[in-house]
């Protein structure tokens, strides 16, 4: 199976795709009806990457800009990342097809 093929339907049912980092904080800011609280929360959330950068924890800073994560419930610890839900799904499919633990 090529790494560009999609996952079989029985595997796709267990995939969860959700926003993380900056995208999650931005969506909370946009969709929160209480603008004052949303602004305050967004400013507080933005302190995290600055704190990590001052501590020279570059992996945490990079991960803050992941966008979406796609994870499978039972097929390992690898996850797919991307700025769109589709890109995160395709990235996860690529990881799962190249995983030597898969029999397919």
Which tokens is 93 given? Answer: 């499919």
DSSP 33-86: S-HHHHHHHHHHHTHHHHHHHHTT-HHHHHHHT-EEEEEESSS-S-EEEESSHH
Angle made by CA atoms 44, 81, 51, in degrees to the nearest 5:
25
Coil, helix or strand at residue 32: coil
Within a 13 Å sphere around the CA of 80, how many CA atoms are in the beta-carbon half? 27
What pLDDT, in 10s, does the model give residues 18-36?
999 999 999 999 999 999 9
Given a cut of 70, the residues of the chain with pLDDT beneath it are: 1-12, 76-77, 98-104
């Amino acid at each position: 199976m090529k790494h560009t093929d999609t996952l079989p339907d029985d595997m796709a049912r267990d995939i969860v795709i959700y926003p993380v980092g900056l995208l999650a904080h931005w969506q909370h800011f946009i969709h929160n009806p209480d603008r004052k609280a949303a602004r305050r929360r967004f400013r507080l959330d933005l302190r995290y990457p600055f704190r990590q950068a001052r501590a020279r924890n570059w992996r945490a800073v990079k991960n803050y800009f992941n966008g979406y994560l796609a994870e499978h419930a039972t097929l390992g610890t690898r996850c797919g990342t991307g700025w769109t839900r589709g890109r995160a799904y395709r990235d996860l499919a690529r990881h799962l097809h190249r995983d030597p633990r898969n029999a397919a």
